[in-house]
Amino acid sequence: MKATTAFATTLMLGFCLTAVAGPVHAAPAQQYTSAVTSLLDAAAGKSIGSVAPGAALEVEGTSGSATHVALHGWFAAGSTAIVYSAPDKHIVALSGFTGHGTAGAAQAVTIDGWVATNALVADVQTVWKTASALYAQKCGQCHALQPVTSYSANQWPAIMKTQADNAGLDPGQTALITTYLQVQSGK
């Protein structure tokens, strides 16, 4: 539930690791969300935000069916509700964040929380494979499929605003295809 500046990150991670029961991981493994996933403030806690598909999460430990994670990203300028996965690309990693933080321009943050373990995958390519199949199925019905490189990471969201309706996507499908197009566009 914590959002801290990069400066305070080391202190917070140190605290979290000592607070986790069981063996301390030498090098925390990175895992990825396969779909939109609630971020919880405790193993069986309440939702404090919504993690986007394909977001990279550092695994700190597990408890029951939940995994303790840290999400590194950047607050959207002037907002603590949205965390982007990169400072210069508006690829959403976390939205609807209700935890504490200080809004600034391109401010690096680490968000501490919990997600359902079964929402995580070790290989992010499995997420993009699912997204690519959905993109081909939903977005090639009326016109040729646009190459992902046709638009930049910061252009795709505006296009998806109208095209998600055209394709009749639900919010989860919209998030998956949008993130896929942004990440794969490579610019």
One-letter-per-residue 3-state SS of 8-27:
HHHHHHHHHHHHCCCCCCCC
Report in angstroms how near the CB of residue 130 gets to ligand HEC at its nearest: 15
Contacts of 9 (CB under 8 A, 6+ apart): 108, 110
- The residue (of 18 and 162) whose beta carbon lies closer to ligand HEC is 162
CA angle 179, 96, 169 (to 5 degrees): 45
Positions touching ligand HEC (CB under 6 A) are: 138-139, 141-143, 146, 159, 162-164, 166-167, 169, 177
- The residue (of 36 and 48) whose beta carbon lies closer to ligand HEC is 36
Whether 183 contacts 148, CB under 8 Å: no
Report in angstroms how near the CB of residue 183 gets to ligand HEC at its nearest: 14
- The residue (of 97 and 156) whose beta carbon lies closer to ligand HEC is 156
Report in angstroms how near the CB of residue 12 gets to ligand HEC at its nearest: 38
